Structure formats: C-alpha cells, structure tokens
Amino acid sequence: MKNSAEIVIIGGGISGLATAYNLAARGMKDIIVVERGYIASGSTGRCGAGIRQQWGTEMNCRLSKASCEILENLEEILDYKRSIEFKQGGYLLFATTEKEVEQFKKNVALQNSLGINSKILSIEEALEIVPDMNTEGVMSFAFHQKDGHANPFQTTFAYAEAAKRLGVEIYTYTTVRGIEVKNDRIESVITDKGEIKTHRVLNAAGGFAKDIGRMVGVELPLKPERHEILVTEPVETILGPMLMSFSWNFYIQQEPNGTFIMGYGEQDNPESQGVNSSWHFAQEMARKAIRIYPPLSKVRVVRQWAGLYTMTPDSQPIYGSVPGLDGFYIAAGFSGHGFMFGPITGVLMAEYILGEEPEIPIDMLDAGRFERGELIYEPSVV
C-alpha cells in the first residue's frame, strides 16, 4: 500500500470509481480508492439498475440526460471489452391520481424543453407497448424510450478497469477508520492497513458518507434507509420498458438477460444501515407485481436482498466541498438514484476538484443549501 496520494477517494461504488477515472483521464496522478468490501459491494451492486431521464426538476433532467448520453457510449469511452448491458426499452410511468396526471404533464413539458423526448400516453397507447399489463385504476402514462437499464457491476468495473490502466490504485477490503485534519486542512487518511498522507479526500461512501463526514467534524444531513429488491429466474423477453409508479410505489423491469428485477420503498423508513431482507417484502412485492403485470405469476423468484438509499432532505445529491475545511469533497446523498447519475457525477466531481468550471453548474447542490433553506424538491421519486 502506498503511503501518500494526491487524493484518497473513500468508496469503491459507481460515484467513487467514476470520479477516480475522470480525474485520472484529466491528468491527475497518485489517485487512491479505498473500499471496505469488494468493488460495487455497497449500494451500487444492490440497486435496481434503472436509468431514467424523466425527472421533475431541471437539475435532475440535465444530470440524468448527460449521464445517459455517457452510458450510450461508455464501452467505447472506457474501452471495455465486456458489455455493460445497456438497454433503452423506456420507462412507463403510471399516473393513478388527478394530481399525478397534472404533475406528469408538467414534467413532460419541462423534459421536452430540455431535449428529453418524453410524452404522455393514453391507456390504449400504453397497451400497445405493454399489452399484458393491468391498467385498472390508471389514468394515463408518461413514457420515454431512451430510459432503461445498465448492469451496475459491469458499469462499475468498466470504470475500475479504465482507472487502473491510468494508474489509479484501488485498495479493496480496506476500511477508512479516521481522517487527520490540521489547521482546517486534510493531512491524512487512516485505514486498517495503514496511513495515507494526502491533502484531498472525496467522500463517496454511500450509506456511510455521514460517518465519514463525522470523521472531520462535518454533520451531513444524510439519512441511510434500507430498501429491498428481488430478482427472478430468466425467462423469454416479454417486457420492454420499466414499469413504475410513485403513487402505487413499485418498479418492475425485465433485464437484458431475461430476469425481472423489482422493488418498492417502504413508507416512513427508519434510519438504518442494515441490509437484511424480509419475507414481508417478498410477499408484498409479489402481490403488487402480479396485479400490475399478470404474466409474472408463474415466474420464480431466485434471490432477494436489500441495500441503502442515502436520502437528503430534498432527495437531491450533495456535490461539492465544505467551507472552512480544505480538501474535503463530497459526492453522496443520491436518494435512490445515484447509479444512473454515476457517470455524470464522475465528470462533474473531477472538474470541480481540479478547479475547473463543471459542465453543469453544481454550486446549488452544495451541502450548505440546507442551512440556507435553498432546497430543490424532486417530486418524482420511489
């Protein structure tokens, strides 16, 4: 293990590794990524693999559109020999209340103004795309063809491999235990395998980003929540888009290998860093899934698990640094959509850390917005 670095990135998930790659690609040397488990062992490897551009704030639309455009070309950009299993089968969003119908109209108008070609579909139009679904109780749909899926492991490893080729060191099974600060400046990172002298740290620790913040006396308004998910055996391809509802609270997508992946979020989730799975979830999920998409009734569930959403008070990520502490950077609080933001997170954080002007202005996403009361509420999250 090296004992000094230009920057230590804490977290070997999509955020940490995409940033490591982008820093290296822009010429930074001596980059170290420290990961407590294996690569993508945190939220990234436990996520729903969904990619969407249908958001309700301009910021999220811009971030997700830019990220999706990177994903479209990621294998070439990173010279990855395997496939990231990118699929653009669309996202079909269910509007089940008057309020949601109106919200979706607003969202689509906003998305269209930003170059995202989403549209409102009638029941009949949606049934042409997914003939076997149950539309009882649905009022209309929103659809965007370019939304879809990417394999979180392949995508993260694509970044990890490219970063390594550019000289980035990745230390897995290595845990950060503390961070030394002197005169408001980062001095070193203490791990269970030794100390690394550095003046820069990126906190990309997902559900543990709050703990990392506390190591330098910074209290980040993050709330880790346990979310469950399950996957079925592979069957022939029958479902193109991701089916998703905010009001009914579910998402279901068939992956390119034929498996169905699905989940929902419990209401009023308590703060938790636990990742065990429950029978209750599997039962409730199966009920929802069969009601909405009856062909699933005969399909077998092979695995269920849980992972962490890291919520912020406005469901938007925190990007940036904190005033009064030199060299401490944050990319955390993705509130359940950090995988799809990963590629653009990497670009923006690298630009920010190198003191360049980020291609999408991110100053409004700093940690200070909560104290200033400048929250940016995203209306469309599961």
Partner 1 sequence: MEGKTIVCRCEDITLEEIEELIDLGYDDLEEIKRLTRCSMGPCQGRTCRNLLAQVVASKTGKSIDELHIPTYRPPAKNIKMTALAGGDEDEE
Ligand X SMILES: Cc1cc2nc3c(=O)[nH]c(=O)nc-3n(C[C@H](O)[C@H](O)[C@H](O)COP(=O)(O)OP(=O)(O)OC[C@H]3O[C@@H](n4cnc5c(N)ncnc54)[C@H](O)[C@@H]3O)c2cc1C
Q: Which of 31, 181, 205, 230 binds ligand X (CB under 6 A)?
A: 205
The Cα–Cα gap between 296 and 184 comes to 56
Helix (H) or strand (E) holding 346: helix 338-353
Rule CB under 6 A: which of 120-179 touch ligand X?
A: 175-176
Answer yes or no whether residue 263 interacts with ligand X by CB under 6 A. yes
Least Cα distance to 35 among 157, 165, 162, 154 occurs for: 157
Dihedral sign for Cα 80, 81, 84, 86, please: positive
**DSSP state letter for 276:** -
Between residue 255 and residue 294, which ones bind partner 1 under the rule CB under 8 A? 257, 277, 282-283, 285-287, 289-290
The SS3 call for residue 169 is strand
Pairwise CA distance, residues 164 & 21, whole Å: 8
Cβ pair 319, 362 in contact under 8 A: yes
- The answer to whether residues 360 and 30 touch, using CB atoms and an 8 Å cutoff, is no
Nearer to ligand X by Cβ, of 127 and 169: the residue is: 169
Q: Which of the residues 40 through 69 are near partner 1 (CB under 8 A)? A: 40-41, 45
Name the one residue in this structure whose structure tokens are 């406005």.
Answer: 314
Could you say which of 7, 22, 28, 48 contacts ligand X (CB under 6 A)? Answer: 48
User: Of the two residues 172 and 272, which places its CB atom closer to partner 1 in the complex?
Assistant: 172
- Give CA–CA dist 155/86, Å, rounded: 9
Stretch that binds ligand X, among 106-114, 134-142, 231-239, 301-309 (CB under 6 A): 301-309
When CB distances are held under 5 to 8 angstroms depending on the partner's kind, the choice from ligand X, partner 1, none that residue 297 binds is partner 1
Pairing of strands 260-264, 250-254: antiparallel
Q: What is the DSSP string of 347-363?
A: HHHHHHHTT---SS--G
Query: Does residue 36 touch ligand X according to CB under 6 A?
Result: yes
175 scored as a contact of partner 1 (CB under 8 A) = no
Q: Which is nearer to partner 1, 187 or 266 (CB)?
A: 266
CB contact at 8 A, 67 and 343: yes
Instruction: Identify which of residues 206 and 320 has a Cβ nearer to ligand X in the complex.
Output: 206
182 is a contact residue toward partner 1 (CB under 8 A): no
Q: Closest CB to partner 1 among 293 and 309?
A: 293
The number of beta carbons lying within 10 Å of the beta carbon of residue 55 is 24
Task: State which of residues 1, 4, 29, 82 lies at the interface with partner 1 (CB under 8 A).
Answer: 82
Does residue number 14 form part of the binding site for ligand X (CB under 6 A)? yes
Residues binding ligand X (CB under 6 A)? 10-16, 34-37, 41-44, 46-50, 175-176, 204-208, 227, 229, 263, 307-309, 334, 336-340
Residues binding partner 1 (CB under 8 A)? 37-41, 45, 82, 153-154, 157, 161, 164, 172-173, 232-234, 257, 277, 282-283, 285-287, 289-290, 296-305
